[in-house]
Structure 1
Amino acid sequence: NRLYESQFDAFGNLSFGIEEHTDLGIPYDPAVGIFGMDVSVSLKRPGFRIKERRIQRRKIPKKQRITREEGINFFIREFGVNVIKE
């Protein structure tokens, strides 16, 4: 339950890798073998749809964007992770 501060980008998004799927508690199956995963989490506030909709697209205002600090605080508060500075 720890993340590094460098895993967060300037917009509060998070990316990390899992080396082996057996780390998640899934039993080992020789037919499948061992594989890893890359996980990316994108945080959005209500109203972010205006950037992606087809008609009348608009830019997201700066006050509506999620900052790196807000993303870090969200994961600490909601998931109880430790964020380590590198």
Structure 2
Amino acid sequence: MNPMEEVRIFKVTLNIGVGEGGEKLARAERLLEEMSGQKPVRTHSKVTNPEFGIRKKQPIACKVTLRGERAEKVLKMFLEGIGNRLKASQFDEYGNVSMGIDEHIDIPGMKYDPEIGIFGMNLSVTFEKPGHRINRRRIQRRKVPQKHRVSREEAIEFMKEKFQVKIV
């Protein structure tokens, strides 16, 4: 196989949407930091929604982006927590996959801490092939051709081979 066509993990993003700031968001940040080993970033609301009691630019969630070995380690833990099964509908047309878990204590190695509580979280995996830097660099930026983008089928095959995931 051509080494430029090998699919690899570009990044893994863990997200906990709390819906409010304050103590609950601080506990969610502590959980993400404990799980990933990195300091999470707060995300802010884009619009005001009086039904949910949210104002514009109010912190409502936190996320952490992982790359390299940390990303693979967290992804393996997360997949074990959901039983190494994914639906084909969880993959988008560009090969990215997103999944969620209702309680973080389902993930192996995570224990219940009464000071933190129980949180659900979402995980998104972004795949790429070597050569995608042309889309991110500053000088002579180019678009990635359609044939070099990761397709849904390639991402599914990668997950089956590397992580022994069953597609339901």
What corresponds to 2:87 in structure 1? 4
Q: TM-score, normalised by structure 2?
A: 0.49
Quick one: distance in 2 between partners of 1:51 and 1:18? Answer: 32
| Alignment-mate amino acid for residue 8 of structure 1 | F
| Alignment-mate amino acid for residue 90 of structure 2 | Q
Quick one: distance in 2 between partners of 1:18 and 1:50? Answer: 34
What corresponds to 1:34 in structure 2? 118
| 1:9-60 deviation line (CA, Å, top 9, x unaligned) | 0011000001111011311111100001100000011100100111111000
What corresponds to 1:19 in structure 2? 102
Show structure 1 runs of 4+ deviating over 2 A.
Answer: none
Is the partner of 2:128 in helix, strand or coil?
coil
What corresponds to 1:66 in structure 2? 150
Quick one: distance in 2 between partners of 1:59 and 1:27? Answer: 44
Q: TM-score, normalised by structure 1?
A: 0.93
Correspondent of 2:131 among 47, 50, 54: 47
Structure with the largest fraction of strand: 2
Is the partner of 2:167 in helix, strand or coil?
strand
Q: Unpaired runs of 5+ in structure 2?
A: 1-83
| Alignment-mate amino acid for residue 105 of structure 2 | T
Superposition deviation, residue 77 in structure 1: 0.8
| 1:48-79 deviation line (CA, Å, top 9, x unaligned) | 01001111110001121111000001101111
Q: Larger RCO: Structure 1 or Structure 2 (Cα < 8 Å, ≥ 6 residues apart)?
A: 1
Q: Unpaired runs of 5+ in structure 1?
A: none
Please, what is the CA RMSD of the aligned residues? 0.7
